[in-house]
Amino acid sequence: MQTINEIQDEIIAEFADIDDWMDRYAYIIDLGNALPPIDESYKTPEHLIEGCQSRVWLNAELLDNGTVEYTADSDAIIVKGIISLLIQVLNHHTPAEILDADLYFIDKIGLAEHLSPTRSNGLVAMLRQMKMYALAFKTRQDARSNAADSQNA
């Protein structure tokens, strides 16, 4: 399995081949269109990300192998592509890996500088929510580990 940095480096290489920002936006839209659909049961106010101009639903589950699986959807095509990029980088990594990740690809591909201020705020909100899920899962894992340690002591 690839590391978060290896995935980011691949994304940077893919975007390096696309010079024009209109073409980059088209690519981001294609990524959003390829995003697997989120279960309709997660399209609830509890799963809406606060701070986004458009509606973005995000769900995360801690899998049996200790990694996080994200699913998401948005009613805005560019935003759906952006969340797709974030999922591509963070999906199926441990909560600790997600929390420790430096998502340098956002600056390297010029994404932040080419988004409107409201979309930039939305990007920050999406990333914050993904990290909050990871923090909650890590806290749960640590609590279970500590409970097991105290039982074995």
CA distance 28 to 85: 8
Residue 89 one-letter amino acid: V
Using left for φ > 0, alpha for ψ between -120 and 50, and beta otherwise, residue 93 falls in: beta
CA distance 150 to 7: 38
Q: Could you say which of 38, 52, 126, 134 is catalytic?
A: 52
DSSP string, 103-125: -THHHHTTTGGGS-HHHHHHHHH
E-only strand ranges, 1-151: 56-62, 68-74
SS3 (DSSP) at 69: strand
Structure tokens at 150: 């105290």
Residue 101 annotated to the active site = no
**Cross-strand pairs, 59:** 71
SS3 (DSSP) at 19: coil
Known catalytic residues are 52
